């Protein structure tokens, strides 16, 4: 069975670059541009892993992380927060809600993001 990576990112250019990097690494990647669509896709596609931006329209990443981790059918899915927010409080909140990892966008290349995804699969 092919492992699907769900990328929830509202920046279209970054979203496209991440999808391309995942596909180049032979990972099946799908994307959502807002939190509400991300939640719907997570429920319908049951991805193997989720890359989650925190600043999103319609439902922010913190709320979405909480929703996913409190849903019995999805709480097992590893979630990597991929965000521009580098504050200790944000990192602590995400880890407390069950995030598998927390990456600050400016600190990671696309190749490093792909490696992190593979590590958690």
pLDDT digits (tens, 9 = 90+) for 70-117: 999 999 999 999 999 999 999 999 999 999 999 999 899 999 999 999
Q: Residue 19's domain is classified under what CATH number?
A: 3.40.50.2300
Kindly report the pTM of this predicted structure. Answer: 0.95
Q: Domain limits at 69?
A: 4-120
When divided into structural domains, the chain yields a total of 1
115, containing H or E segment: helix 110-120
What's the CA dihedral at 72, 44, 13, 18 to 10 degrees?
Answer: 60
CA nearest to 100, candidates 46, 48, 59 = 48
């Amino acid at each position: 069975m092919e492992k699907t990576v769900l990328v929830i990112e509202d920046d279209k250019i970054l979203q496209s670059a991440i999808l391309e990097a995942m596909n180049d690494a032979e990972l099946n990647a799908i994307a959502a541009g807002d939190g509400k669509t991300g939640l719907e896709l997570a429920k319908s596609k049951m991805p193997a892993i989720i890359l989650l931006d925190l600043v999103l329209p319609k439902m922010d990443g913190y709320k979405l992380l909480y929703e996913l981790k409190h849903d019995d059918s999805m709480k097992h899915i590893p979630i990597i927060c991929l965000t521009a927010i580098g504050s200790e409080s944000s990192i602590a909140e995400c880890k407390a809600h069950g995030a598998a990892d927390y990456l600050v966008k400016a600190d990671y290349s696309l190749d490093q993001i792909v490696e992190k995804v593979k590590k958690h699969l």
